[in-house]
């Protein structure tokens, strides 16, 4: 395994590294997580979906009735939350109180609230700790909004995925098993734009393209083409 750039390395230096870190950022439903999972599989790395952490905190907050709590209670609840990332067969899964929430994390109810939760400092600090720990030894493909800018600013490869809001809406509806009619696409595109605006406009770790990222517009690309390009770039950078 290539040791990475001379003098590089995270908190541990390069010792015990399992590979490079690939950061994939972009707006909602731009295909980050499907792409990241496929890239990880091709490289024999683990996929780390950072959005799942914010979704898990939001879900727990909705279930526990503290999602809108004031600063002190919110910080306490997030601090007390029994939440961890566990590596399972090439994928980091989120475990909350020994339970592994599945479809609960991607419901519209959670999607509607997650950006407000993700803008709050205790949620960001908690997620940052979990993500850095999971990626400490490299060999990960991590997707999110601030991976290349904040979580792994020294990632060997940073990719920024974009696609039109309508195309992203169409793909999201298919994920929800809904027929993408024109009307539904317009409504879903509006929801995605609203979430992107919140994510890009917030004070803490806003969504933005890292200066040193490779931007890929996936609107007219097949998923396999996007994956191939990223795998090639990753190999060039030592994967
Ligand atoms: O990627 P996904 O759409 O599941 O992310 C859900 C939400 O979590 C985003 O809209 C954003 O508010 C938040 N998020 C974030 N930083 C990340 C990943 C996700 O703020 N790195």
CA nearest ligand 1 atom 4, residue: 51
- CA 115 to ligand 1 center in whole angstroms: 7
Assigned token pair, 205: 């770790």
Say if residue 7's pLDDT is above 50.
no
Average pLDDT of every residue of the chain: 93
| Residue among 165, 199, 201, 205 whose CB has most ligand 1 atoms within 8 A, to mutate | 199
The domain locations on the chain are: 21-226
pLDDT computed for residue 15 by the predictor: 55
pLDDT computed for residue 105 by the predictor: 95
Residue 217 phi/psi, 5° resolution?
A: -90, 115
- CA 196 to ligand 1 center in whole angstroms: 9
| Residue among 120, 144, 194, 209 whose CB has most ligand 1 atoms within 8 A, to mutate | 144
Rounded average pLDDT over 28-53:
96
pLDDT computed for residue 217 by the predictor: 96
Instruction: State pLDDT tens for residues 77-105.
Output: 999 999 999 999 899 999 999 899 989 99
| Residue among 118, 135, 160 whose CB has most ligand 1 atoms within 8 A, to mutate | 118
3-state secondary structure the chain: CCCCCCCCCECCECCCCCCCEEEEECCCCCCHHHHHHHHHHHHCCEEEECHHHHHHHHHHHHHHCCCCCCHHHHHHHHHHCCEEEEEECCEEEEEECCECCCHHHHCHHHHHHHHHHHCCHHHHHHHHHHHHHHHCCCCEEEEECCHHHHHCCCCCEEEEEECCHHHHHHHHHHHCCCCCCHHHHHHHHHHHHHHHHHHHHCCCCCCCCCCCCEEEECCCCCHHHHHHHHHHHHHHCCC
pLDDT computed for residue 96 by the predictor: 94
Instruction: State pLDDT tens for residues 170-219.
Output: 999 998 899 999 999 999 999 999 999 999 999 999 999 999 999 999 99
Rounded average pLDDT over 1-12:
41
Assigned token pair, 169: 């809406």
Instruction: State pLDDT tens for residues 138-170.
Output: 999 999 999 999 999 999 999 999 999 999 999
Instruction: State pLDDT tens for residues 56-69.
Output: 999 999 999 999 99
For the ranges 3-12, 94-103, 229-238, the maximum mean pLDDT occurs at 229-238
pTM: 0.91
CA nearest ligand 1 atom 8, residue: 51
Rounded average pLDDT over 104-116:
94
Say if residue 9's pLDDT is above 60.
no
**CATH classification (class only), 21-226:** alpha beta
Atom of ligand 1 nearest to the CA of 147: 21
Cβ atoms of 115 and 108 within 8 Å: the answer is no
pLDDT computed for residue 10 by the predictor: 41
């Amino acid at each position: 395994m290539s040791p990475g750039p001379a003098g590089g390395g995270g908190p541990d230096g390069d010792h015990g590294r399992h590979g490079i870190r690939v950061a994939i950022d972009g707006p909602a439903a731009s295909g980050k997580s499907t792409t990241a999972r496929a890239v990880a599989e091709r490289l024999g790395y683990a996929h780390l979906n950072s959005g799942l952490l914010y979704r898990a905190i939001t879900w727990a907050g909705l279930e526990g009735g503290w999602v809108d709590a004031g600063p002190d209670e919110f910080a306490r609840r997030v601090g007390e939350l029994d939440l961890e990332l566990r590596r399972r067969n090439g994928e980091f899964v989120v475990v909350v109180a020994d339970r592994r929430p599945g479809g609960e994390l991607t419901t519209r109810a959670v999607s509607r609230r997650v950006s407000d939760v993700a803008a709050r400092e205790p949620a960001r600090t908690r997620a940052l700790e979990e993500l850095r720990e999971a990626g400490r030894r490299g060999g990960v493909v991590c997707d999110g909004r601030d991976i290349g800018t904040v979580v792994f600013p020294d990632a060997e490869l940073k990719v920024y995925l974009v696609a039109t809001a309508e195309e992203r809406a169409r793909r999201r509806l298919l994920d929800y098993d809904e027929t993408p009619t024109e009307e539904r696409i317009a409504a879903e595109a509006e929801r995605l734009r609203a979430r992107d605006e919140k994510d890009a406009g917030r004070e803490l770790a806003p969504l933005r393209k890292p200066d040193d990222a490779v931007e890929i517009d996936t609107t007219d690309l097949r998923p396999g083409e996007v994956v191939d390009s990223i795998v090639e770039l990753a190999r060039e950078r030592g994967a």
